[in-house]
Amino acid sequence: MSYKQIFSNSQRSFWRRGLISFGLINLLLWLSACGFQPIYRKDNTTGDSAYQQLQTVRIDPLPDRPGQILHNLLRDRMNPLGQPREPLYSLKAIITESEKDLAVRLDNTASRTNLAITVQYYLVEISSGKTVLSAKARSTGSYDKLNDPYATLVAEDTTRKRVLRQISNDMALQIGAYLNKAQ
């Protein structure tokens, strides 16, 4: 006897729905058991969320234009109302950029370049001066090197801003996750 002869279509769909439901229930139970918690949830005891905790972080000034861009992006994500008056933490960062040519034309000039940016950052507790979080955020973007120098400069600048935006998102999430866990 074959599988089709044993079970009718309605019985097969019943078992299929049952297995899918069982799998979804197991997935939800597994997620709740692994300690998964939304980063922006409110703490039951203090009533604060990680978003409110992010507003206690003072972002130290960063040198050069990429540092200014990253500083402003981080302020938009972590301190939209401006630097905190009484910060609990200070965020320090070191930015490293590197470029690598990917494609080469027949005249031996590069036609495409990868821009990799790495940010080593430290979250320092102001009251103790102790570094409570040390991490790296890295992202890469690429752009075309065109015959027009201005167009190449604009493409490089746009790529740099896009890469720094991704890094600022990663940093804010990592710092938020740390502060959420530290509550």
Question: Do the domain assignments include residue 39?
Answer: no
Structure tokens at 70: 């990253």
- Write down the pLDDT at residue 92: 95
Where does residue 55 rank: exposed (0-12), middle (13-18), buried (19+ CB within 10 A)? Answer: middle
Structure tokens at 149: 């120098």
Percent of the chain's residues with pLDDT above 70: 79
Q: What is the mean pLDDT of residues 41-46?
A: 54
Which range marks the domain in which residue 112 is found? Answer: 50-182
Least confident of 13-22, 128-137, 151-160: 13-22
Farthest-apart Cα atoms in the chain, separation? 77
The answer on 29 and 89 residing in a single domain is no
The answer on 173 and 93 residing in a single domain is yes
Task: Collapse the DSSP code of 104 into the 3-class scheme (helix H, G, I; strand E, B; otherwise coil) and give the result.
Answer: strand
Beta carbons of 75 and 93 less than 8 angstroms apart = no
pTM of the complete model? 0.72
Q: What is the mean pLDDT of residues 87-100?
A: 93
The answer on 91 and 29 residing in a single domain is no
